[in-house]
Structure 1
Amino acid sequence: MISILAAPTNLGLRPPQDTSVPGCAKAPEALREAGLYSRLLRQGAEDAGVVIAGRYVDDWIAGSGRVRNQEALVDHAIRLADRIDAIIDRGRAPLVLGGDCSLLIGSGVALSRRGRYGLVHIDGHTDFRHPGNSDRCASVAGEDLAAAVGLHLPAVSDIHGLSPYFAPEHAIHVGCRDDDKGLEEAREVLAAVVPASQWISDPAGTLRMIRETLAAEELDGYWLHVDVDVLDPSIMPAVDSPDPGGLDRGQLTVLLSDLADDAIGADVCIFDPDLDPDGGYAELVADTIADALGGLGAHTRRSGIT
């Protein structure tokens, strides 16, 4: 069954404005208030607690060779990895509620300790900025996929000598827009890249390709990373970087529902309650998670795969 693990980190994001901090660390409790926890608990999930992040400090300096909040971010990733490991050891599927996309580092550390795992990175952006293509690397929430496949600074991409957390040939990205700056490089490096437009135009064919790609690698399993900015901003504007051309709720639900049963676990991130004053978008995210990820890990549990 599912274990819900809150990871309320905002350490991987830039400040939304001077003197303020990103609001996505409030997401797990906003989703609890919207009924997500109670709905999943009724279905047999457990509340596995929280991995609290360190203090957000906007300490990045251009040319420093460091990312924003680096020490706190790495510390949180290691502690998150330990908790994910413990959940999987008990035969349960971790559902990690962020927080920002930097929590993919913790998920990657946990799985790279265990074996050969794939990654389905579902995001409105490729998050493929890294020191090899940019001199402005600063915020891991926009660089998480590059870090997860070993292309970032060793401090974040090679924790405990585990780089790459996911081999590039085991990673699939779904959901970026056609004008994404990292699209062409990601296509050259990863197993597959599926822009949102491709998923929208051919979901059945695309899903078949994703499954065939994962099956061909004889992996121990795969992880789902879900950034809710994959949704079109007409549906989900409560994110830090909304871009037009995204999926609608039904399209995302189909994608996640089909992949959830065979996934070892998942994380969901970037929803920002500060941009949702009446709670309506929290309800949308909660409903989508419950509908689409309620069966998370069901097949791996039946098969005894960990």
Structure 2
Amino acid sequence: MIALLSAPSNLGLRPPQRGSVPGVSKAPEALREAGLFRRLLDDGATDAGVVLAGRYIDDDDARAPGHVRNEEALVDHARRLADRLTSILDAGDAPLVIGGDCSLLLGIGVALARRGGAGLVHVDGHTDFRHPGNSDECASVAGEDLAAATGLHWPAIADIDGLAPYFAPQRAVHIGHRDDDEELEEVRGIIGLVVSAADAAVAASDDLAASVVETAGTGYWLQIDVDVLDPEVMPAVDSPDPGGLGVPELTELLRRLAPRAIGASVTVFDPDLDPDGRFARLLADVVVDALRTLGTAV
């Protein structure tokens, strides 16, 4: 059974402008208004509540070197999210986490590492592989979550409670980057399977799903960053880049991946960039159509 969990965190993003706050924390309620929760609850899902994040602070002027934005609040939220996910998984349900930004992968990783580990399928328009070993600009975990989740970031976020790596790199899959991604070559040398948006768009869905299962195993976590979609169809994201997937391609891919996933998360939709709600309605359609069989083959 799907357990819907809201995680309205914006802690891993840079501010849109100095002193302002990213809008992604509004995403769970915007998607609720668009009918996402009602439709899945009508299908038999349960509402597992919300894990609130701490206050977002634009701390660029005060943050010491070697620390990410909102680090203390991020780690606190990760532990609390992990506790809630543990309860859901122990009950035999499949969590569907509605974020929020993709720094949520820290708490998800902690929960799964506590249980002995799982594979990871990271569907994202960027590799999110910036880390202290390849950049002097580390600050925003939403652009660094895959690196942190596979143990390549500062220990404060990559080794919470001594659990690094949350996901073994050889059991991690990344799908959806653009061909000009800055960390692509490093990712290809570390992550088990790496597939661009262009290649995913033309691949046979069955063949790609088989490759994912071969790498990640059955019972992986499915992390979906909405910016994997092309900005022509989904511009309401923090970092839109051309060359993404279309709605039919993403929907079919997720339909193939959902049954063998232990759980999933949907992140980085920004309602502030969707004033009339049409992109929330589009995303609700994708999530309901593609993820309604989440966890049914685990």
Contact persistence 1:88–1:94 (CA under 8 A) = yes
Contact persistence 2:8–2:24 (CA under 8 A) = yes
2:262 — aligned with what? Answer: 264
Q: Secondary structure at the match of 1:260?
A: helix
Offset at residue 206 of structure 1 (A): 2.6
* Inter-partner Cα distance in structure 1 for 2:60 and 2:149: 21
1:17 — aligned with what? Answer: 17
Offset at residue 203 of structure 1 (A): 3.1
Paired AA for residue 213 in structure 1 = T
Aligned length: 296
**1:208 and 2:200 matched:** no
Contact persistence 2:172–2:215 (CA under 8 A) = no
Q: After TM superposition, list the pairs within 5 Å mapping 1:95-174 onto structure 2.
A: 95-174=96-175
Contact persistence 2:19–2:58 (CA under 8 A) = no
User: Can you list the C-alpha shifts for 1:67-119, whole angstroms capped at 9, x where unaligned?
Assistant: 00000000000000000000001110000000001000000000000013000
* Inter-partner Cα distance in structure 2 for 1:139 and 1:4: 26
**1:282 and 2:254 matched:** no
Paired AA for residue 6 in structure 1 = S
Paired AA for residue 269 in structure 1 = T
- Which of 233, 236, 254 is the aligned partner of 2:234? 236
* Inter-partner Cα distance in structure 2 for 1:289 and 1:18: 33
User: TM-score, normalising length from structure 1?
Assistant: 0.95
1:304 — aligned with what? Answer: none
* Inter-partner Cα distance in structure 2 for 1:193 and 1:280: 31
Offset at residue 208 of structure 1 (A): 2.7
* Inter-partner Cα distance in structure 1 for 2:167 and 2:216: 12
Contact persistence 2:117–2:167 (CA under 8 A) = yes
Offset at residue 207 of structure 1 (A): 2.7
Contact persistence 1:3–1:46 (CA under 8 A) = yes
Offset at residue 51 of structure 1 (A): 0.4
User: Can you list the C-alpha shifts for 1:134-173, whole angstroms capped at 9, x where unaligned?
Assistant: 0110000000000000000100000000000001001000
* Inter-partner Cα distance in structure 1 for 2:31 and 2:275: 13
Q: Secondary structure at the match of 2:177?
A: coil
Q: After TM superposition, list the pairs within 5 Å mapping 1:34-53 onto structure 2.
A: 34-53=34-53
Paired AA for residue 101 in structure 1 = C
Q: Secondary structure at the match of 1:126?
A: coil
Q: Which ranges of structure 2 fall in alignment gaps of 5 or more residues?
A: none
User: TM-score, normalising length from structure 2?
Assistant: 0.97
Contact persistence 1:261–1:298 (CA under 8 A) = yes
Moved more, 157-166 or 59-68: 59-68
Q: Secondary structure at the match of 1:261?
A: helix
1:69 — aligned with what? Answer: 70
* Inter-partner Cα distance in structure 2 for 1:214 and 1:127: 18
Offset at residue 63 of structure 1 (A): 6.3
User: Can you list the C-alpha shifts for 1:112-136, whole angstroms capped at 9, x where unaligned?
Assistant: 0001300000000000000000011
The Cα RMSD (Å) is 1.1
2:88 — aligned with what? Answer: 87
- Report % sequence identity: 65
Q: Secondary structure at the match of 2:209?
A: helix
Contact persistence 1:60–1:66 (CA under 8 A) = no
Moved more, 52-61 or 103-112: 52-61
Q: Secondary structure at the match of 1:240?
A: coil
* Inter-partner Cα distance in structure 2 for 1:169 and 1:207: 17
Q: Which ranges of structure 1 fall in alignment gaps of 5 or more residues?
A: 301-306
Paired AA for residue 215 in structure 2 = T
